Amino acid sequence: MTPEKVEFETDEGFGHKARIGLIVLETDQTVEAEMRQIRIPGVDWYHSRIPNDSEVTPTTLTDMKQRLPIAASLLPEEFSFDAIGYCCTSAATLIGEEAVAEAIQSSHPGVPCSNPITAAVASFQALEVTRISVLTPYTAEVTAPIIDFFNDSGLEVEKVASFLEPSDYVVARI
């Protein structure tokens, strides 16, 4: 028996106002839960996971650079994302804003990209904040480039403190 073709219509689909892609660390425990709490009608969040090491060091963070294009490609291009964010402050700092954007845009050309440290600087600039204090969960060798990034962005870092935690599993829960 041959099935009869039935006509159909489609709606606007999820995210008809905005579709936002997020590249989340394999060990992350918070981003997806936090995004579910942001309920804006017509705006939807889509996630891809990127493999990462459980120990947070400059080397393990920069190792994610080669994995970023693969993680970005898991966000379907057909969804026509309005923006894509890489959800790792420390890796985005060490890899570099431009390299992160290039990696994401290799699968999503022209889609605006962001990450936590770039967003923080943009927020400080919008609020005309010029002096900040920084608290990180990271080791000193991971915290130092973050401080340098803020200073290079025109911010004056007044104080720095850290929990000096090397385990990403623990960092995600601080």
- Cβ contacts of residue 78 below 8 Å, gap of 6+? none
Q: Which long-range contacts (CB under 8 A, 24 or more apart) does 108-112 make?
A: 108/21, 108/72, 108/75, 108/77, 108/81, 108/84, 111/21, 111/81, 111/82, 111/83, 111/84, 112/82, 112/83, 112/84
What's the confidence (pLDDT) of residue 83? 98
Q: E-strand spans in 7-136?
A: 18-25, 43-50, 83-86, 113-114, 131-136
pLDDT at 143 over 90: yes
pLDDT at 107 over 90: yes
Residue written as token pair 């927020």? 123
pLDDT at 9 over 90: yes
Q: Please give the CATH number for the structural domain made up of 18-171.
A: 3.40.50.12500
pLDDT at 173 over 90: no
- Cβ contacts of residue 10 below 8 Å, gap of 6+? none
What's the confidence (pLDDT) of residue 172? 87
Q: Of 10-19, 79-88, 90-99, which gets the smallest average pLDDT?
A: 10-19
d(CA 155, CA 131): 6
pLDDT at 69 over 90: yes
Mean pLDDT of the region 166-172: 93
Structure confidence at residue 13 as a pLDDT band (50, 70, 90)? confident
Mean pLDDT of the region 20-25: 98
pTM here is 0.92
Structure confidence at residue 12 as a pLDDT band (50, 70, 90)? confident
